[in-house]
Amino acid sequence: MIVIMDLGELLTTKIGRGFDHLDADGDGVLDERDHVLMGERVAEALGHVPGSPGERRIVDTYLRIWREVHLPHVPDGETGIARASFITSTGALTGDPETARATLGALAEAFLDLADVDADGTVSPREFLAFQRGHFPNLSAADAAAAFAHLDTDGDGTLSTGEFINATIEYWTSPDPDAPGNWWLGDPHR
């Protein structure tokens, strides 16, 4: 495994693992097509019929994320972001907490809007599993349950807006081995 020196092994591993899940077509590059595929999978996991307005809204959200979050980091002449570049650019957020909160916080809010199917302002274990399985199809139900248990920091059985946003930010930026957000994709030590 290549470890980006300033990030350390834990953060490099988390970001790399995240990339591997985001690279929906498995071609080693995060691009617009991956975002369309993720949107379609999440829509299906949340019960939307292909071609429905619900699916279109979700795919459009993923395309907005592509344009606003990832596309600005695509090297000139390329159509996507390779794994090493993704790790480096995402890891750079660690040294800039304000940008991390603005960028990843907005990303988390967009995801929360999708995951909170019943629009009650929280994410239940069932909603979390459906969203995560759509977003990260190789995530097992056991990993999702373990993740949820760690991310639900107040133990009330739901993820609040704050818990959801903090988990997203911690997963992608925290080098702290005890950060609850490390569990976003299940056990961070596997």
| Residue 90: CATH number of its domain | 1.10.238.10
Residue 4 has pLDDT above 60, yes or no: no
Residue 87 lies in a domain: yes
Q: Which pLDDT does position 190 carry in this prediction? A: 75
For residue 75, give the H/E element and its range: none
Contact 24, 34 (CB under 8 A): yes
Residue-wise pLDDT tens digits, 62-77? 999 999 989 998 999 9
Count how many domains the chain has: 1
On whether residue 150 sits in a domain, the answer given is: yes
Residue 15 lies in a domain: yes
Q: 176: which 2 tokens?
A: 């702290």
Question: Is residue 190, in this structure, part of any structural domain at all?
Answer: no
pLDDT over 70 at 124, yes or no: yes
Q: Print the domain residue range for 47.
A: 8-185
Most confident of 106-110, 138-142, 157-161, 184-188: 157-161
Answer whether residue 71 is part of any domain.
Answer: yes
Residue 175, domain member (yes or no):
yes
Task: Report if residue 107 sits inside a domain.
Answer: yes
- Whether 3 maps to a domain, the answer reads no
- Confidence grade of residue 1 (pLDDT, cut at 50, 70, 90): very low
pLDDT in the model for residue 137:
83
> Would you state the pLDDT for residue 3?
46
What separation, in Å, do the N-terminal and C-terminal C-alpha atoms of the chain show? 14
Tokens of 52: 């429905």
